[in-house]
Structure 1
Amino acid sequence: MHNALLIAELSLREATRKRLVSVLLILSTAFIGFYLYGIYRLELNLDQRSLDAGLDGRSLSGLSNLPVMYAAMFGMYLVYFLGALMSVLSTVGSVSGDIENGVMQSVIARPISRAQLVLGRWIGFTVVNVVYVALLGAALIGGVYAITGYLPPAPVPALGLILLAVTLLTALTVLGSTLFTTLANGIGVFVLYGAGFTGGILSAIGTFADSPTLATLGRAANIVMPTNSLWLGASYHLQPDVLLQISQRTRGANPFFGSEPIPAALAVWAAVLAALAVAAAMWRFSRRDL
């Protein structure tokens, strides 16, 4: 385990040396600033409408505050999407990249096993991705609260499910990096991510149209790739009662937001799948001919 943590530390230093961290900070600050400025302008517009209507103020949990609620929800969806991109792009060459540029031969000559190397890579990149998404999500929710006074009902469980999705995507990308080239790995993981999103759309259509076949196909896709289900579970915790009532009346027709909490078994399966992916990556790379 000591060697794995050493590799994780080296991965963190590599991310810093390649200016990954600095670029993320700059771009993320620009994104948060841009989005929160839009929230600020929206808040001013809604306040002015309230004054024009002769109202003393708006209820933070009422229908008059729906634009702010939806803006916060879509902002967190962007955080989830950026986290998914970050998970894949930062990790896509974690093993295959070192093999392709010839660095791996000098690394494995050291007194460290291949399994420890893969585990360390996964730990290092997971720390980078999880911390990035956690800070981004906290900054967005905190900014919305500071500007509007609105706070989603349960932001901590929601952010936890998003971080679980990031952890799973990082693990699957590390596994792909031990099996395929860097380019093929990136394409493959994005296809899996798309399959999870497609499962959410099929489930929404199947529920709305009373089609058991589509609903079953959607559930199967969500089991194979549960990242989208994790987001839908997170979105449930971000919605106050008024939004949940709208979602339930439309019978879940919106594929971006969930109207029901994620089953506990599916969340556990996502964690188990991440662990299995890391274990498979360690086993595969230990037996791979370089």
Structure 2
Amino acid sequence: MITIARLTFREMLNKKILQLGLILTVLYLGVLGLGLYYIGKDIPANAEVVRMTLAGELLTAGLFVSGMLVALVTVFSSAGAISSDIESGIMLAIAAKPISRTQVFLGKYAGLGLALVVYSLLVFVATNMIVWRIFHFHSDGFFGAMVLFALQPLVLLAVSLWGSTFLSTLGNGVFMFMLYGVAVIGGMVEYVGVQMSSMALNAASATGAASSLTMIGILTSLLLPVDSMYRLVNYLLLQGGPVPEQLIRFTPFLTITPPSLEMLVYTAGYTLLFIGFGIYKFSRRDL
């Protein structure tokens, strides 16, 4: 398994999708830094509350785009990780005895996962450093948020590798993008529902609509819990930062009630379950 992981990691570093992702990431960070610089320089020095609140808003927005970049690189790099090797005939040589298919699957997951975690850490740290440099924004929850952000691609990777065992590269890529899009939109729908509930609307129709929206968001987070992890990342950063608590609720990329410990346990179980599904499906597929 270690040999497969090492070879997969090296292959990942040589993939054009990672190189293209790094180029786009650098361009994105450059645009982000330039935009934040012009925003920050117009804020009066004595308007500290405005500065910190705006920094929190822009940080969560920046991490939203950063998370999308990580998701794009994850899907593009893993959609054909197994299916393309099967279609080209390479898998016949890789999965020859005494190497089991379980070792092949876990090796690919470990190799791709390591590369994606490193990429996620770089993107997260760079985004936070830009906001810190311009707005002097710091958070006590930085390290916890960093770990959670780096673990997001591992969830996507587990599902994508599972899909790669029985779908074509194109089909799996489309499937993953649709699933990720549903999760992100569901998170926004849940935010709207929670906001409506918190506004203490008395109308029965408004209360019912808020409950329905919240339930839709919860169900989509169960389909793919990546968006819940992203919102917990933002919650940790803002709760541990200098943004006034009464203003945090108006951040569109944050949830007022952050995902619970049970949701984190569910996410871990979800990831392990799809790794198991992938191993099972791969072990029974004709090469």
For Structure 1 versus Structure 2, the TM-score category normalised by the shorter chain is: 0.7 to 0.9
Within 2, Cα distance between the matches of 1:220 and 1:17? 38
Tell me by how many angstroms 1:243 deviates. Answer: 5.5
Determine the structure 2 residue equivalent to 1:273. 270
1:42 aligns to what? Answer: 39
Q: Deviations over 1:58-93 (max 9, x none)?
A: 42xx13443333222211111111111111111111
Q: Which residue of 1 aligns with 2:225?
A: 226
1:284 and 2:271 correspond = no
Task: Specify whether residues 217 and 27 from structure 1 end up closer, same or farther in structure 2 by C-alpha distance, changes over 3 A only.
Answer: closer
Q: Does the aligned pair in 2 maintain the 1:202–1:214 contact within 8 Å?
A: yes
Give the alignment partner of residue 100 of structure 2, picking from 105, 113, 127. 113
1:205 aligns with 2:192: yes
C-alpha contact (below 8 Å) 2:109/2:158 kept by paired residues? yes
| Cα deviation digits, residues 119-174 of structure 1 (max 9, x gap) | 10011111111110111111121222123311234222222222222110011100
Listed one character per residue, the Cα deviations across residues 226-274 of structure 1 (whole Å, up to 9, x for unaligned) are 11111111111122464642343x6x8x3x2222322011011111111
- The answer to whether the aligner puts 1:147 opposite 2:134 as a matched pair is yes
Are 2:191 and 2:254, in contact at CA under 8 Å, matched by a contact in 1?
no
| Partner in structure 2 of residue 127 of structure 1 | 114
2:255 counterpart residue number: 258
Q: Report what 2:3 is aligned to.
A: 6
1:187 equivalent in structure 2? 174
Distance in structure 2 (CA, Å) of the matches to 1:77 and 1:205? 17
CA contact (8 A) 2:101 2:279 kept: yes
Question: Sequence identity, in percent?
Answer: 29
Instruction: Pick closer, same or farther for the CA change 1:244–1:224 going to 2, 3 Å.
Output: farther
Q: Which whole-Å CA distance do the structure 2 matches of 1:108 and 1:17 have between them?
A: 22
TM-score (ref. length: structure 1): 0.86
- 1:75 and 2:62 matched: yes
1:30 to 27, 31, 38: 27
Query: Secondary structure at the residue paired with 1:45?
Result: coil
Q: Deviations over 1:181-224 (max 9, x none)?
A: 11111111222212212322332233314232332232122122
* Distance in structure 2 (CA, Å) of the matches to 1:164 and 1:268: 13
d(CA) in 2 for partners of 1:16, 1:193: 24
Pick the aligned partner of 1:89 from 76, 91, 112. 76
Assess if the C-alpha contact under 8 Å between 1:172 and 1:278 holds in 2: yes
Distance 2:138 2:3 in 1: 40
Give the Cα–Cα distance (whole angstroms) in 2 for the partners of residues 93 and 6 of structure 1: 20
Is the alpha carbon distance of 1:69 and 1:92 closer, same or farther for their aligned partners in structure 2, counting shifts above 3 Å? same
Where does residue 53 of structure 1 map in the other structure?
none
Conservation of the 8 A alpha-carbon contact between 2:183 and 2:225: yes
Judging changes above 3 Å, is the alpha-carbon distance between structure 1 residues 145 and 202 closer, same or farther for their aligned structure 2 residues?
closer
Amino acid in structure 1 at the alignment position of 2:172: N
Give the match's secondary structure for 2:189.
Answer: helix
Give the counterpart of 1:169 among 122, 135, 156: 156
Cα contact 2:137–2:242 (8 A) shared by 1: no
Q: Runs of 4+ in structure 1 displaced over 6 angstroms?
A: none
Structure 1 distance, partners of 2:68, 2:16, is 21
CA contact (8 A) 2:3 2:107 kept: yes
Unaligned runs of 5+ in 1: 51-55
SS at match of 2:165: helix
Residue type of the alignment partner of 1:102? G
Higher mean alpha-carbon deviation, 68-77 vs 127-136, is at 68-77
Q: Give 5+ residue unaligned stretches, structure 2.
A: 197-205
Cα RMSD (Å) of the superposition? 2.1
Q: Is the 8 A contact 1:89 1:186 kept in 2?
A: yes
TM-score using structure 2 length: 0.87
Query: 2:213 maps to which residue?
Result: 214
Check if 1:57 corresponds to 2:56: no
